[in-house]
Amino acid sequence: MDMVTLTPQIPRIGQTVIGTGFGTTPGGKGANQAVAAARLGYAVHMVGNVGRDVYGPVLLDNLASAGVSTKAMEKVDGPSGLAPIFLSEAGENAIVVVPGANGKVDAASVDRHAELIRSAGMVLCQLEIPMETISHVLSLCAEAGVPVMLDPAPAAILPEAVWGQVAWFTPNETEAAFYLENSESPEEAAKHLLARGLKGVVLKRGGEGSYVAVAGGKAAWVAAFKVDVIDTVGAGDCFNGAFAVALLEGLDAWAAARFASAAAAISVSRRGAQASMPSRAEVEEFLAKHG
């Protein structure tokens, strides 16, 4: 559950500022991406946990209302995942993620839903569940031939085997820097990341657009759409969900990134994470309007 504080500016260490508003809205990178894909009309299942607290039922109901199947969601003792968020008037955000029930998604949880995972067209993973669990999922998907899109957020050291098991690696600028020894251009960063065994890289660069590169093949920028930014929370997740849908529907990576950029552009013009995810009709209308 995202616990959002609106503030003129994100406070510095030791600084107190007066906020202008507060609200709670369902979030979490996995759920955000699931909702983004489901709103675009694709069949989506989510595997994960919620806690036996006041937020658990709300989170499950919200997923279901967006069209996400929650049959593989489990309830565990303790709190659900929580994310206190500061959101500035400029649209910038600072987030603290408290894993809660997400920290209890283990290999046994994955194995209980192994057949569902093996049947997927693509599996989207993030780093808000334990790394050991991510490694188990990637191994399962590699054995089954299911492509994995990994959003390395929050950035963390990855086991070496992971690099060769990921079809699409989708860091933002800060996350990409975590995996590189030196500050590099997006073009050089993509080359170095691909050299570690990845099949494809999408460097999400906000207003600059995205840089999309595939191993042994094409690499090119996909421009961002110019919109009035209200709230960037969940924009990267919206991009990932839409990018996955477009790929599964047969678009090449750069056309898929353009489709995903349109979805993300709509999302940043609205408040909330999952609440901002656009429908298929909205994305198609947006693309038609922008040529």
200-204 sheet: strands from edge to edge: 123-126, 148-151, 168-169, 200-204, 210-214, 219-222
Q: At what angle do helices 235-248 and 253-268 cross, to 10 degrees?
A: 150
Residue count of the chain:
291
Q: Is the CB of residue 135 less than 8 Å from the CB of residue 108? A: no
Distance CA 273, CA 27 (A): 6
Determine the 3-state secondary structure of 87 from DSSP.
Answer: strand
Structure tokens at 230: 């209200």
Instruction: Check 61, 151, 237, 252 and give the catalytic one.
Output: 237
Catalytic status, residue 237: yes
Of 280, 213, 285, 204, which is closest to residue 239 (Cα–Cα)? 204
Instruction: Please state the φ and ψ torsions of residue 73, each to the nearest 5 degrees.
Output: -90, 140
Alpha helix (H) residue ranges in 4-155: 29-39, 55-65, 107-111, 114-118, 131-144
DSSP conformation class of 73: E
Enzyme catalytic residues? 237
